[in-house]
Structure formats: structure tokens, C-alpha cells
Amino acid sequence: MPELPEVEIIKRGLDRLIVGRKIATIEPLVQRSFPGFSAEVESIIVGSAICSVARRGKLLLVGLDSEHSLLIHLRMTGQLVYRQADYNGQMSSSNDSFGGGHPNASLIKDLPDKTTRVIFSFTDDSRLYFNDQRKFGYIKLVRNSDLDDDSFIRKLGPEPLAGDFTWHVLKERLPKKSTRAIKAALLDQCVVAGIGNIYADESLFAAGIHPTRPVVSLSDDEIERLHGAICCCLRQSIADGGSTARNYVDSQGMRGEYLELHAQVFNRSGQVCARCGHPIDKIRVAGRGTHVCSKCQK
């Protein structure tokens, strides 16, 4: 599943490519991929221009000029692919195309294909495809005034890269007196928005904290270190173009390089820790494969 940096990369690409475009048609090919779609929803979307692309946690928010937003959650296998029509009216798969999200051939091959769930056509004949092999992702239309009440957004914790996310905020969001493992707490989108398996493992390594440590056992110093590590890992990954753990491809078809360049433990079990030379272990925490240096992480 793409995490905050991967969604941020997609956001930036879409922002550059689709803002200002006017929607001519929308075709939801699978009902489950656009819950709540109706003739009324269609009438709001068609004719609207896209005025913004934003991100909240792992969620994309595409703002329309009709006081509504499209909420897009990619979940496990979702991807967004933008293609401009070339001068023959065919969908071009070269220069002006882009794909972000789950890595499979649908990012680069002719669309629609069997994974295509929703198609937006713009008035200039370019298109935005929402592909989703496993159909866990979704698109929803929400009135802007109702965004804060959306069942998913309402529960989201703070944005870790926002200026007001201090270590005190992190401490406040962590469950009090909880014996839950710190990694489980980091994966909980209500604690902090946008962190998944990669950045939980990397942040805990950078902070020198073992993923199984009960939340209640963390000192203020450790929470402060963890806060710094979260911000640092996420910023580094965005700078690297995201992760290639699953070969996420960004808006220009570039692969992110975070895992190759900067990740210290994720997917490195059996290799030695760059800091101390101890082998990196893979254990299970919160039901997820977890990478840890048991010498550096206490």
C-alpha cells in the first residue's frame, strides 16, 4: 500500500497535470469502486473543472469547482493513470502520460484494461483512469462542507509533515498507559496519518526504539527522538521520489529511490546493520513483517 510519501508524489504529479481540466464524462465500470455513484453525483461531476489536488494521510482529495471533492483512496492495488490524447485521438502512452500507485503493467500499457474501474474523460480528450486490481480502493464524491465529517477523514490523526506536528503532539496522540507495541500505534492512522509499514520500521530504527516496545514504556526523550525520525524519514523519501518497495512509479514514470538510497532496515533482513554490523532480523509485530536491528533498537 502506498504510504504518505508515495501518495504525496502522486499528488504533486496530478497537481501539475490535471488542475484546470474540465470533466466531460465519468464512467464507473465497477460499482464498488465508486460507492454512492448516482445520476445526481454524475451531474455534479460532469462539467466541473478540477481546481486543486491535495493529500490527507494516504488519501487524495481532488477539488472540483462545484464545491465538491473527489476522495480517492488507493488502498492495496489502486493506481491513477493520466493519459493525454495524441493528435490521432489515440491515448498516448509516452510523453504526457503518467502513472502512480500499485506497480503493474497497467501503469504503462493501453487503457482501459481489465483492472480499470473508473474513467474520467476531460474536455480536451485526455483521461484519468482509476485502476484497481483487487478493488479495495475507492473514489467518493463529498461536498466540501462535509469533508471534515467524512467517516475516514474524521478519524485521521495529524499530518506528520505539518508545521504544528511537534513531539508534544505525538505524545498526546499516543494511547495513554497502553501496553500496545509502538509499531502498532504508528500504523494506526488515528495516531498519525500516513505512516505504513516502511516508514514505521525506518522511523523506529532511526530513533533506536524496538518495534515491540509497549507505548507506555517510552520516555519523553524517546518520543522526541521518534518524532524527529518520522519527519526525517518521510521528508527523505519524498525527496527521493518515494519508495521502490513495490516499484511505485511517480507522475513522470520515475521510480522512487528511497529504499535503495536511504532505508536502513526495511526489506534488509539477513543483511548487516550499517550502524553496528549486527544482522537485521525480520519479526512479526501487529501482524506485519517488521525489520529490526536488535542491537541498535532497545
Q: Binding residue for Zn ion (CB under 5 A) from 135, 213, 255, 295?
A: 295
Q: Binding residue for Zn ion (CB under 5 A) from 128, 193, 286, 296?
A: 296
Q: Binding residue for Zn ion (CB under 5 A) from 275, 281, 282, 288?
A: 275
The residue annotated as part of the active site, out of 11, 55, 58, 268, is 58
Closer residue to Zn ion (CB): 143 or 278: 278
Q: How far is the CB of 227 from Zn ion (least distance, A)?
A: 21
The stretch among 55-63, 108-116, 262-270, 273-281 that binds Zn ion (CB under 5 A) is 273-281
Q: How far is the CB of 229 from Zn ion (least distance, A)?
A: 14
The stretch among 13-21, 71-79, 106-114, 267-275 that binds Zn ion (CB under 5 A) is 267-275
Cβ partners under 8 Å of residue 287, min gap 6: none
Of 250, 243, 248, 285, give the one whose Cα is nearest residue 264: 243
**Residue 211 catalytic?**
no
Which helix (H) or strand (E) covers residue 117, if one does?
strand 116-122
The residue annotated as part of the active site, out of 75, 135, 171, 288, is 288
Binding mask 226-265 for Zn ion (x = CB under 5 A): ----------------------------------------
Closer residue to Zn ion (CB): 75 or 213: 213
Closer residue to Zn ion (CB): 127 or 210: 210
Q: Is the dihedral of CA 48, 53, 56, 58 positive or negative?
A: positive
Q: Binding residue for Zn ion (CB under 5 A) from 118, 273, 285, 292?
A: 273
How is residue 66 annotated by DSSP? T
**Residue 58 catalytic?**
yes
**Residue 288 catalytic?**
yes
Closer residue to Zn ion (CB): 126 or 264: 264
The residue annotated as part of the active site, out of 3, 6, 8, 202, is 3
| Closest-approach residue to Zn ion (CB) | 273
Closer residue to Zn ion (CB): 277 or 287: 277
The stretch among 19-27, 99-107, 213-221, 287-295 that binds Zn ion (CB under 5 A) is 287-295
Could you tell me how many residues of this chain bind Zn ion (CB under 5 A)? 7
Q: CA 199, CA 185: separation in Å to the nearest integer? A: 13
Q: Binding residue for Zn ion (CB under 5 A) from 163, 179, 276, 298?
A: 276
**Residues with active-site annotation:** 2-3, 58, 288
| Chain residues in the site for Zn ion (CB under 5 A) | 273, 275-276, 278, 293, 295-296
